[in-house]
Amino acid sequence: MTRNILVVDDDELVLLAIQELLTPLGFSVTVASNGADALRKAASQKFEVVILDVIMPEMDGFEVCRKMRQLENHHETPILMLTAKSGEEDKQRGMEAGANLYLPKPIAPKRLISLVEEALK
C-alpha cells in the first residue's frame, strides 16, 4: 500500500530533498510550493501525512494548517510543521493551528523519516 504524503514549502530545494528522501522508502510524495496549491491538492486527495513549512508568501503555514483541518478528509491527518521559525511562541501558534508536531529546520534525514513513520502508526 502506497502511503501518500503532501510536502508544502516555497523552497524548491527543500521539496526536492524531502521527495528524494521519502520516495525510495515507498512513499508517494506530492509537493506544493504554496498554501493555495496545498489546499487544492488536499481537497481532492487524501494524504496520510502533511509536512508543512510556516514561512511562505501569501498564506503562511499556520493559516494553511487551520484551513486544512476544516477539510473533511484531513480533520485527523498528522501535520508536521517543519520550519525555520523555532521560537516557543511560534511552536504554540502551530499547535493551536492544528499541527501535531512543530519541528525546527534543519532536521536530520533519519529523524524526519522516523517522525513520518511514527505519524503513520
The candidate with the shortest Cα–Cα distance to 105, out of 91, 85, 87, is 85
pTM: 0.94
The sign of the CA dihedral 15, 20, 22, 27 is: positive
Residue 111 confidence (pLDDT)? 94
Within a 10 A sphere around the Cβ of 108, how many other Cβ atoms? 8
**Tens digit of each residue's pLDDT, the chain (121 residues):** 679 999 999 999 999 999 999 999 999 999 999 999 999 999 999 999 999 999 998 999 999 999 999 999 999 999 999 988 878 898 999 999 999 999 988 889 999 999 999 998 8
Amino acid 69 reads R
Do residues 37 and 43 lie in contact, with contact meaning Cβ atoms separated by under 8 Å? no
Measured CA to CA, the distance from residue 52 to residue 103 in angstroms comes to 10
Residue 1 confidence (pLDDT)? 64
Residue 68 confidence (pLDDT)? 97
Complete domains list, the chain, with CATH:
3-119 (3.40.50.2300)
